[in-house]
Amino acid sequence: MSLFSVDFKVRDYELDMQGIVNNSVYFNYLEHARHEFLLAKGVDFAALARDKVNLVVVRSEMDYKASLTSGDNFQVTVQFEQISKLKFGFRQQVIRSADQKLMLDALVIGAAINAQGRPFVPDLLALLGQ
C-alpha cells in the first residue's frame, strides 16, 4: 500500500508568540489529511455523519520532533491500521519539504459510532485497509 500524503504551507496566523506553529494547530493539519485520505478511499466523512455514522477520535498521541515556522512547506502522511475489533488508527507524520525532516510523529485512534451512540464496525473500514 502506498503512503498517502497531503501538501501544506504554514500560514502566519498559525504561529505562536515564539514564531513557531502552535502545538494545537497540528491537530488541524492531521485532521485535514485524514479527511482527504478518507475521500481518496471513497469515504465521504460528511455523508457518513448525515447517515448517523460518526467517526470519532478516541485518543491522540503526538511526538513533537521539531518546529515548523512561517512559510514552511510540508506534507502530512496518513497510513491506516486496524487497532482492535472496534478501533482503528491513523499513523501520521508531518515532514518538512525542504529537507524531509520529521517534525511530528502521531497516532490517532478512532472508532465508528452508530445513531444510538454505540461503537460498531461499518463496512467501510474494509475499504480503508486496502
Of 45-49, 83-87, 88-92, 98-102, the least confident? 45-49
Domains delineated in the chain: 4-128 (3.10.129.10)
User: Across residues 66-72, what is the average pLDDT?
Assistant: 98
Q: Is 16 a catalytic residue?
A: yes
Q: Which of 16, 44, 51, 63 is catalytic?
A: 16
Mind giving me the DSSP string for the chain? -PPEEEEEE--GGGB-TTSBB-TTHHHHHHHHHHHHHHHHTT--HHHHHHTT-EEEEEEEEEEE-S--BTT-EEEEEEEEEE-SSSEEEEEEEEEETTT--EEEEEEEEEEEE-TTS-EE--THHHHHT-
Checking if the pLDDT of 125 tops 80, the result is no
Of 78-82, 107-111, 116-120, the least confident? 116-120
